[in-house]
Structure 1
Amino acid sequence: MSAATTAQAVITGLGTAVRGLDGPGGLLGPLPAGHRSAADPVSRLTGRGLRYKDRATKLAMTAARDALDAAGLLDGAGELTVPGESVGVVASTNYGNCDTVCETVQTIAESTYLGTSPMMLPATSSNVVASWVAITHGLRGANLTLCNGPASGLDAVNWARLLVAARRVERVLVVGVEPDNAAVRHVTETPEPDGTDDTDAVPELFDGAVALVVESLASAEARGVRALAALGPYARRGDHAGAVAKVRALRPGPVGLWCVPEHPAGVRAPAPALGASAGSAPVHDLSALYGPSSGALGVLQCATAAVWLADHDDMVLVSAGTGDAGGDDAGAALLLTAPEALAVAGSAA
């Protein structure tokens, strides 16, 4: 097996926890009308210890379990089938435990620290989502939380690739999650729903989680698990167009689908960045379909790319963060391909 094949990072499992979304296969289309009244995915969680967990953590746990199961890492009883130290966790969320933090601050302001709950205080840490996912499944590898703005989700996927390439772990569970609640709407200055039927009056924020398993192609082959997508070039730049241009320079070729940033108005990669052979790539705006997704967007995009590549042999370009054009701190871009295509490229190299 070539070094290129051994180092190649692939996606082997997907999981979702979004109202109205019946598994990852639905990511290529819009949510059904009235999806907010559909069954809450958190209701699939059972057992003790859920009372003191915030909504973001419960959503992440739901999606994480499905991704691990889809990747063949759980047995029929839900137990891990590989050593716990071989699996790491990278979570991306900008507002995950905002409700817990706001509630705790208010309690301290009104009753001093004596009014706080010892059960709730640990949940004010920004790494609570990644920690509980790891504890739940006994994942003892590297554990990271990213909360660095719109590009956070794509950064998380790239960190997973780096951890695998550095042999810190054999595989990484990546989770992107954002809740829609009063605290998040307060800090993002998004108005609360007023109970009317005018759905255009109040924007719907993304309320859910998506998870994916990243591991080396060699690891997937050794376990006999099918790779869903391969991670190609990644770039992070001060402007969105620069990030897109960099990955396209590293990997030219036709782009079959482009998952655009959260604020795509006026943000388009220049024609040379896409390349003449790419043609006009269809745009898939997940934020328009699911609501502003913040730190979950990049992971949501990569899961969508994996679904697309199940039936296509071209590339998917995903990009998040508008950089200077939209007031974000950076823009990031990543190319994903069918694993078979990169295997051929690696052999040719």
Structure 2
Amino acid sequence: MDVVVTGLGLALRGVDGARGLLAPDPPAPDADDPAARLTGRGLRYRDRATRLAMCAARDALAAAGLVRDGALTVPAHRAGVVASTNYGNVDTVCDAVTTIAKETYAGTSPMALPATASNVVASWVAITHGLRGANLTLCNGETSGLDAVHWARQLIAARRVGWVLVVGVEPVNPPVRHLASGGTGADVRLLDGAAALVVEAAESARERGVPGLAEIGPYARKGTWTEAVAAVRGPAAEPVGLWCAPGGAVPPHALEPALTCDLTAKMGECSGALGVLQAAAGTAWLDDETSGVLATAGTGRDGGTDAAAALILRAAR
């Protein structure tokens, strides 16, 4: 079954649309906060990761035509969410632990405590838009974002759902900075933002009259970067026009003459949001190009991490 991207949404300072991810210069750090776009009641107990995810999700759902005038246009039980975030609601968890240590559980808020669950981002996005299908959260290290795109495709191929909103988000706050620095307090450049994709079967997109923006191709998660790339490109070494490089040191087998897009160098450490950002950048690339996109996250044993993931995006047919 061919599965395609039909909607994109971003919540990133200084980045106006997915095409902006391909720009060579980093975004302006003093640009407007995208979370400020959210207004109305019900935001008091939403952590920053959830707010950023809600911004990106709203735009992606609207772009795909799944939400119109605030209402879902497809059956709610057939629309799901897969979220990727490693730091997510760590600030809420730390606040709750600190409160319990000082005041026992009696000091905690019955409104805030449910937000300590690790699936809070996916849950609030689903509740906000009435998406009652499969709901998953992946906290899988550097490969988490590409893993999320893969599992969204698998849910559709298995006919568990008809549409999946994929969200990759990471926030910046004191607990995240502490964890990212390994407790040293070192200044680590971190992404503060979110990206969202809507994916569905190509046949579904045609029936709805919505253009497929990119086709999701082969995916692999292996022990090394070399193995992951070889698995998705196949024996014929599928041509690649854009290579979305993994975070950290570039592996020794750079793909020439492909254009390289290193979102980590541009945005800072992206963690669980990286793969979803790469998929958004690759989809924007395929708006004008026909050569494939290779997205890679994690370097595996080649670069000192536990695994590496690779995903091919192709021009939609």
Give the shorter-chain TM-score range: over 0.9
Q: CA RMSD in A?
A: 1.7
- 318-327 or 161-170, which moves further after superposition? 318-327
CA distance in 2, matches of 1:148, 1:101: 18
Aligned-partner Cα distance in 2 for 1:225–1:27: 23
Q: Hey, what's the Cα distance between the residues in 1 that align with 2:236 and 2:23?
A: 27
- The equivalent residue for 2:243 is 258
Residue 282 of structure 1: CA displacement?
A: 1.8
Specify the alignment match of 1:98 in structure 2: 90
Decide which of 5, 19, 36 is 1:11's aligned counterpart. Answer: 5
Aligned to 1:61: 54
1:78 to 70, 92, 112: 70
1:292 is aligned to 2:240: no
Whole-angstrom CA distance in 2 between matches of 1:42 and 1:192: 29
- Number of matched residues? 317
In structure 2, the partner of 1:108 is: 100
TM-score by length of 1: 0.87
Give the structure 1 partner of residue 225 of structure 2: 240
For 1:99-248, list aligned pairs within 5 A.
99-189=91-181, 202-248=187-233
Percent identity over the alignment is: 62
Change beyond 3 A, Cα 1:179–1:31: farther
Q: Larger C-alpha radius of gyration, 1 or 2?
A: 1
Partner of 1:311: 288
Aligned partners of 2:24 and 2:187: how far apart in 1?
Answer: 18
Contact 1:182 1:192 in 2 (8 A): no
CA distance in 1, matches of 2:249, 2:9: 26
Counterpart contact for 2:177–2:188, Cα < 8 Å: no
Gapped runs of 5+ residues in structure 1? 1-6, 194-200, 341-349
Matched position secondary structure for 1:253: coil
SS at match of 1:236: strand
The 1:144/1:325 distance shift into structure 2, 3 A limit, reads: same
Does the 8 A contact of 1:322 with 1:328 survive in 2?
yes
Whether the 8 Å contact between 1:89 and 1:172 is mirrored in structure 2 is yes
Runs (4+) of structure 1 exceeding 6 A deviation are 190-193
TM-score norm. by structure 2 comes to 0.96
Q: CA deviation at 1:30?
A: 4.5
- Alpha-carbon displacement from aligned partner over 1:58-79 (angstroms, at most 9, x marks no partner): 000000000000001111x221
Question: Once the two structures are superposed, what CA deviation does each residue of 1:218-267 show, in whole Å capped at 9, x if it has no partner?
Answer: 000000000000011111101111000111116633210100111134x1
Distance 2:183 2:32 in 1: 24
Work out the CA distance in 2 between the residues paired with 1:42 and 1:302. Answer: 22
3-state SS, counterpart of residue 316 of structure 1: strand
Measured in 1, the distance between the counterparts of 2:130 and 2:235 equals: 37
Between stretches 81-90 and 324-333, larger displacement belongs to 324-333
Q: Secondary structure at the match of 1:211?
A: strand
Which of the residues 11, 25, 29 maps onto 1:36?
Answer: 29
SS at match of 2:10: strand
Contact preservation (8 Å) 1:174, 1:212: yes
Once the two structures are TM-superposed, the CA of residue 32 in structure 1 deviates from its matched residue by 5.4
What is the rounded CA distance, in whole Å, between the counterparts of 2:24 and 2:102 in structure 1?
Answer: 43
**Closer, same or farther in 2 for the Cα pair 1:97/1:250, shift >3 Å?**
farther
Give 3-state SS (helix, strand or coil) of 1:326's partner.
coil
In the alignment, the residues of structure 2 paired with residue 28 and residue 73 of structure 1 have an alpha-carbon distance, to the nearest angstrom, of 26
As a proportion of its length, which structure holds more helix? 1
Moved more, 319-328 or 330-339: 319-328
Match of 2:20 in 1: 26
Q: Displacement, 1:156? A: 0.2
Cα distance in 1 for partners of 2:67, 2:221 equals: 34
Deviation string for 1:195-232 (max 9, x for gaps)?
xxxxxx94420000000001000000000000000011
Check 1:84–1:192 CA distance in 2 against 1; reply closer, same or farther (3 A cut). farther
Change (3 A) 1:250 1:60: farther
For each residue in 1:279-301, what CA deviation from the matched residue of structure 2 results, as whole angstroms up to 9, or x when unmatched? 42121100000110000000000
Gap regions ≥5 residues in structure 2: none
Q: 1:171 to 1:125 in 2, by over 3 A?
A: same
Q: Amino acid of the residue matched to residue 28 of structure 1?
A: L
